[in-house]
């Protein structure tokens, strides 16, 4: 196992930083070695199978349910997943992209799109998060090579500055409304396969979606959400944000995020 992948620095170049600032996302090659992914993927997948609560057959689910199996805070259930989620390399990249001194964990999330799984509708993650600023970022780590037919993440480049549609949860409506409005505003859609070891980072307000998985294997992805250590909890503006306060136990609007579930990672 090449643990140094998770622990050592990854050199971001000025073009990476500029791309992230301009477009609200960046894809980075060779962040993790195939050996490191192979060392952690079976444990992550095992925990997804163990902890997943989705019992409804794929064909009978709503659009959100068809998009992916979603399991949060796997790190609480596995020391090995904790090693992965705590990666100084992944966290330092997040801090450098955000332009902040230090980042905390908000939570992790496995997003497994089953074979035959549907589209992930257009949305912005920060609809769900009770944060006072935009200094939050998700790393999206595919645990296999991800060709287009598996449904890799696609971004509307520059859409992190677009405020229309921020009040929409993942739904058929968000797909319809945002598909139209993002096209009208001429935000170019960036949609490419991921090589093994390639990851992406996107801001909380960057609009993104993913195609269906038409392959015969699951699209296995692990994500980690990082927040600026100076992040203040905002007054929730919807039920989703009220529910998400559970990832910040004891935290109240106006306070810094600092619960035991939100350790400093870099």
Contact 221, 48 (CB under 8 A): no
pLDDT at 3: 59
Give this prediction's pTM: 0.96
Query: What gap in Å lies between CA 76 and CA 227, rounded to an integer?
Result: 19
d(CA 107, CA 225): 6
Has domain 4-247 been given CATH number 2.60.120.620? yes
Q: What is the pLDDT of residue 1?
A: 43
In the numeric block, the tokens 């306070």 are attached to 255
Condensed to tens digits (0 to 9), the pLDDT of residues 32-78 reads 999 999 999 999 999 999 999 888 888 889 988 877 889 999 999 99
Per-residue pLDDT tens digits for 168-220: 999 999 999 999 999 999 999 999 999 999 999 999 999 999 999 999 999 99
pLDDT by residue (tens digit) across 5-40? 999 999 999 999 999 999 999 999 999 999 999 999
The overall average pLDDT reported for the chain is 96
Residues listed for the chain: 266
């Amino acid at each position: 196992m090449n643990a140094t992948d998770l622990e050592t620095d990854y050199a971001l170049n000025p073009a990476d930083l500029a791309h992230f600032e301009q477009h609200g996302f960046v894809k980075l090659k060779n962040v993790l070695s195939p050996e490191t992914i192979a060392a952690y993927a079976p444990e992550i997948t095992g925990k997804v199978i163990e902890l997943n609560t989705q019992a409804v057959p794929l064909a009978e689910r709503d659009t959100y349910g068809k998009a992916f199996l979603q399991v949060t805070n796997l790190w609480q259930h596995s020391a090995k997943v904790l090693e992965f989620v705590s990666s100084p390399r992944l966290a330092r990249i997040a801090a450098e992209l955000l332009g902040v001194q230090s980042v905390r964990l908000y939570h992790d999330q496995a997003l497994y799109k089953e074979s035959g799984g549907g589209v992930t509708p257009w949305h912005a993650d920060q609809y769900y998060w009770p944060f006072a600023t935009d200094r939050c970022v998700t790393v999206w780590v595919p645990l296999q090579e991800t060709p287009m037919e598996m449904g890799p993440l696609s971004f509307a480049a520059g859409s992190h500055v677009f405020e229309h549609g921020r009040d929409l949860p993942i739904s058929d409506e968000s797909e319809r409304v945002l598909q139209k409005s993002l096209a009208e505003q001429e935000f170019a859609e960036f949609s490419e396969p991921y090589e093994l070891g390639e990851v992406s980072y996107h801001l909380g307000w960057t609009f993104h979606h993913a195609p269906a998985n038409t392959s015969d294997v699951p699209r296995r992805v692990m994500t980690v959400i990082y927040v600026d250590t100076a992040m203040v909890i905002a007054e929730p503006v919807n039920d989703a944000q009220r529910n998400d306060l559970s990832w910040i136990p004891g935290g109240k609007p106006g306070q810094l995020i600092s619960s035991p579930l939100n350790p400093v990672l870099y």
